[in-house]
Amino acid sequence: MNQTDHHRVAWLLPTMGNGGLSFQHLLCEFTKIFPETIIFTGQWPGFVRGLEDTFAVKEIGSTQYIGFKNTLNGYTIGFSFASPQIIYHLLKFQPQIIFANSFTIWTAIAIILKPIGHWKVIITYEGGSAVYEDTCSAIRYQARRWMVKVADAFVINSRASKSYFLDILQAKPEKTFSRPFLLPSLNALQQYSKTDAPQLDDSLPRPIFLFVGQIIPRKGLKTLLEACYQLKQQKLTFTLLIVGEGQQQKELEEFIQQHDLQQEINWAGKIPYHHLGAYFKFSDVFIFPTYDDIWGMVLTEAMAFGKPVICSLAAGAVEMVDENINGFVYDPTNPNQLAKYMAQFLDLPELVTTMGEKSANIMSDAENISTGFLEAIDLVQNMSN
């Protein structure tokens, strides 16, 4: 493949809200190779600082998530309604290759229009949740099976999702490329000057455990606070720094007060994406206590900054943790287990350095984020020859 390829490429990303911010540097790197690329979305948060105008974006309509049923500590069951105007824009652009994110309405449209547009459709998959991969939902399961049968290739972010594609959806192995592509850009997380840098309190007791995420039940912060209470009962000294906001905050603030954790818990609130790097560097250990996450970019961001991690088994990104080497893995419903792993960093503070170095090594050894996409493009180009 040439250093720059002049094929027209369309990315179909119906939603690019806050979770899509960390995806932007992938699109930036990809567009350097394929300059004639347009990202179509129905939810555009604006460019991340430092990546302004590095790729072309076309906002189509307004994507709305329609929820049917709430799950306990999990994702809301529903679907994203994206504008059918995408049909006009695809036929006008006439891409040779379409990257369609997950199994959305736009993915189905791109596949249906293949005979008319004469394009190749590559499905990208960030990761899965038990809520959406449950085969008991016959309509969703059959729709996904059909899309996999008709699509030309697949680029999958995690090993667990690769098994889902091969074993459940019966994707062909030769069309399936599994490479982590949700990996961070350190530069995008540190787009601040000396005068603009976050002011962090150096007097906070260490070690400093860091949580970054929405303050909602699914993210598991309540379990983390329960583990903190156990450490306090053991008269251990530490800080939990919480970055984020959400509907559960009032409930958790009451928990903190009832359990006399005010000295141990520090709320930072919502932080701009380009300031997050300062918080990763300031902390000692990152904790990802989620009950359900299709991936969890914050985990790889912390690892890239050389931090040891404690990760829930329910995070897709848990496969990036080399257990007992760069961190620990635990059951998100078990605060006792989490407290035990947190205490290890108090008993053996040298683990902060040694495990952190291992995290940085794991991230530096990761493949280029564009690798899987380039492999898929080579495959579909050979199909056309």
Highest-scoring range by mean pLDDT, 14-18, 71-75, 139-143, 297-301: 297-301
- Number of folded domains that form the chain: 2
Does residue 33 share a domain with residue 67? yes
Does residue 165 share a domain with residue 176? yes
Does residue 201 share a domain with residue 163? no
- 239 forms beta bridges with 208
Q: Which residues contact 164 (CB under 8 A, 6 or more apart)?
A: 128, 133
Task: Give the span between the Cα atoms of 63 and 104, in whole angstroms.
Answer: 11
Nearest to 307 by CA among 259, 237, 241, 373: 241
Mean pLDDT across 293-321? 97
Instruction: Note whether residue 267 is domain-resident.
Output: yes
Cα angle: 74, vertex 77, 82; to 5 degrees: 125
Look at residue 68 and tell me whether its pLDDT is greater than 80. Answer: no
For the entire predicted model, the pTM comes to 0.94
Nearest to 338 by CA among 238, 201, 195: 238
Instruction: Note whether residue 135 is domain-resident.
Output: yes
Nearest to 1 by CA among 24, 27, 30, 26: 30
Look at residue 57 and tell me whether its pLDDT is greater than 90. Answer: yes
Backbone torsions φ then ψ of 55, nearest 5 degrees:
-150, 160
Neighbours of 8 (CB within 10 A): 17
The length of the chain is: 385
Backbone torsions φ then ψ of 58, nearest 5 degrees:
-125, 115
Instruction: Note whether residue 288 is domain-resident.
Output: yes
Does residue 357 share a domain with residue 212? yes
Range of the structural domain that residue 254 is part of = 194-365
Determine if the peptide bond prior to 207 is cis (ω within 30°).
yes
Helix (H) or strand (E) holding 37: strand 37-41
Hey, what amino acid is at 184? P
* Helix%, strand%, coil% for the chain, nearest 5: 40, 20, 40
Does residue 175 share a domain with residue 201? no
Band of residue 19 on the pLDDT scale cut at 50, 70, 90: low
For residue range 192-203, list pLDDT tens digits in order: 998 999 999 999
Instruction: Note whether residue 378 is domain-resident.
Output: yes
Question: Looking at residue 85, what is its pLDDT?
Answer: 98
Hey, what amino acid is at 378? D
For residue 24, the domain's CATH number is 3.40.50.2000
Helix (H) or strand (E) holding 280: helix 276-282
Instruction: Note whether residue 3 is domain-resident.
Output: no
Mean pLDDT across 228-247? 97
Question: Looking at residue 128, what is its pLDDT?
Answer: 83
Nearest to 212 by CA among 276, 151, 167, 168: 276
Task: Give the span between the Cα atoms of 374 and 107, in whole angstroms.
Answer: 20
Does residue 170 share a domain with residue 83? yes
Cross-sheet strand order for the sheet of 208-212: 265-269, 239-243, 208-212, 285-288, 309-312, 327-330
For residue range 169-211, list pLDDT tens digits in order: 999 999 999 999 999 999 999 999 989 999 999 999 999 999 9
Q: Which residues contact 354 (CB under 8 A, 6 or more apart)?
A: none
Does residue 250 share a domain with residue 325? yes
Does residue 285 share a domain with residue 167? no
Instruction: Note whether residue 249 is domain-resident.
Output: yes
Does residue 262 share a domain with residue 160? no
Residue whose pair of structure tokens reads 């932007």 in the numeric block? 24
Helix axes of 86-93 and 105-112: crossing angle, nearest 10 degrees: 50
Does residue 36 share a domain with residue 176? yes
Does residue 164 share a domain with residue 18? yes
Q: Residue 148, exposed/middle/buried by CB under 10 A (0-12, 13-18, 19+)?
A: buried
What sections of 94-234 are H helices per DSSP? 105-112, 114-117, 130-133, 138-150, 159-163, 221-233
Q: Which residues contact 248 (CB under 8 A, 6 or more apart)?
A: 215, 216, 217, 221, 222
Instruction: Note whether residue 261 is domain-resident.
Output: yes
Instruction: Note whether residue 324 is domain-resident.
Output: yes
Does residue 165 share a domain with residue 112? yes
Neighbours of 166 (CB within 10 A): 17
Neighbours of 234 (CB within 10 A): 9
